[in-house]
Amino acid sequence: MSVADWRLIYEIGCANHLPALLFYKLKEHRIVFPAEMETMLRTDYLRFSGNDLRRKAQLHEMIQLFNARGIDHILLKGSHLAEKFYSNSALRPMCDIDVLIEPSDFNKAYELLVEAGYISSKPNNHDSQSGSNKHFPTLLKEGGLAIELHWNINSQSNDHNMEPLWSRAETMTIGNLKTKILSPEDLLLHLSFHRGYDHLFASSLMLLNDIKEICSRSAVDWTKLLSLATSADEWGNTKCLFSALYLCHMLLGVNIPERVLTQIKPDDFDKTHEQLLIDQLFCRIDADMSTYGSVNALYKLNRGLNSRLLLKYLMSPRKICLTYDKKYSLHVLPGLYCKGIIEKSGCAAKAFVEILTNRNSRKLYETSKASSKIEKWLKS
């Protein structure tokens, strides 16, 4: 392979937050690669390992605080995976610590974390539940990861009943601390749902590795998984799960029982969808999320205005107050809506000009187009 090929692999690894895993695997399989690449990957690896040690200390502190005050909690996503399924937790980076709590425990948890030096990303709306991400506003601490306290983890519905999920949760010990984690079946569903529904599987190679680790280190009850995926009272979505398991099976050779894939395979799934999903895995959004959001909105506008889109951009009064972190009151609303419309119009105009003049923005528009196709399919 040429240096350019190696550079491309490195870039894909970085886009998927995988340089540490890439370095580890190359070394494990004794694959010879350019010295320049080795220096870059080693530096990344050591940085990831250092961040992981910081995260462990932070997680330990958080669990200790919650346990001392009897706050029941379930570790989600990265922390759960790194602690339970990765033999080397440095290989599973994360950008925040996600925890599920009961909404009634929020004030207690918030006060504890504030006492420990955290501040809310939305101090005026710190207890707001109106966000679409099923979590309270993020809690931040200098030099540490953000903590997201979730009250729901079903991307499809705000009214999802979380009680059965709590009853299926398992206990785990980290160091000398007891904590809770999702059952392997709920974890698989949550991860595929989150990456599929919320991120449309864009740059989701890490998800495939997560599933590979889960399947190789725990006894997944496939019958239970199917029942939870198909039940409307539980996760009630099989497209995201199928897509994730199918990609894992096809690209990483993970042993997923044939009957599972057959049973949840969507009727309309074909080679086009397969290619769209693979493209999503490798798509690179070389822009900040605000620019990408504007380009995405333009693409959707171009396809025609619809009530769902208008509602999304006009936002509810409570949501616009949360967006600009203003305390909810009627007299601030006109100003906030004006501000929102001016800002969004400005972003859209800027994105429009960039699409016309800039090749990268045109590429972004095409990425958005492809994402929209898979979004339509996943959410139908």
Partner 1 sequence: MESNKAYPVANPMVVFRTEFDDWSVLFDPDANQTFGMNPVSSFIWEKLDGKHTVKNILEEIREEFEEVPDEAPAQLNNFLSDLEKRGLVGFERVNQGV
Residue type, 324: Y
Helix (H, G, I), strand (E, B) or coil at 202: coil
Mark the segment that binds partner 1 (CB under 8 A) among 48-56, 162-170, 181-189, 201-209.
Answer: 48-56
Site size with partner 1, rule: CB under 8 A: 18
CA distances from 268 to 20, 218, 247, 272 (A): 37, 31, 16, 10
Among 1, 46, 119, 252, binds partner 1 (CB under 8 A): 46
Q: Which of residues 291-310 bind partner 1 (CB under 8 A)?
A: none
Among 78, 93, 137, 144, binds partner 1 (CB under 8 A): 144
Confirm if 211 and 244 have CB atoms less than 8 A apart: yes
Q: Give the DSSP letter of residue 123.
A: G
- CB atoms under 10 Å from CB of 85, counted, come to 22
Residue whose token pair is 């190359």:
26
- 7 or 47, CB closer to partner 1? 47
Task: Name the burial class of residue 21, with classes exposed (0-12), middle (13-18) and buried (19+) by CB atoms within 10 angstroms of its CB.
Answer: buried
| Sheet strands side by side (includes 177-181) | 119-120, 139-140, 146-150, 96-101, 73-75, 177-181, 170-174
118 binds partner 1 (CB under 8 A): no
Rounded to the nearest whole angstrom, what is the least distance from the CB of residue 176 to partner 1 in the complex? 16
Rounded to the nearest whole angstrom, what is the least distance from the CB of residue 85 to partner 1 in the complex? 17
Q: Which of residues 150-189 bind partner 1 (CB under 8 A)?
A: none
Among 32, 35, 143, 380, binds partner 1 (CB under 8 A): 143
Among 53, 95, 341, 342, binds partner 1 (CB under 8 A): 53
Binding site for partner 1 (CB under 8 A): 24, 27-28, 42-43, 45-47, 49-51, 53-54, 57, 88, 90, 143-144
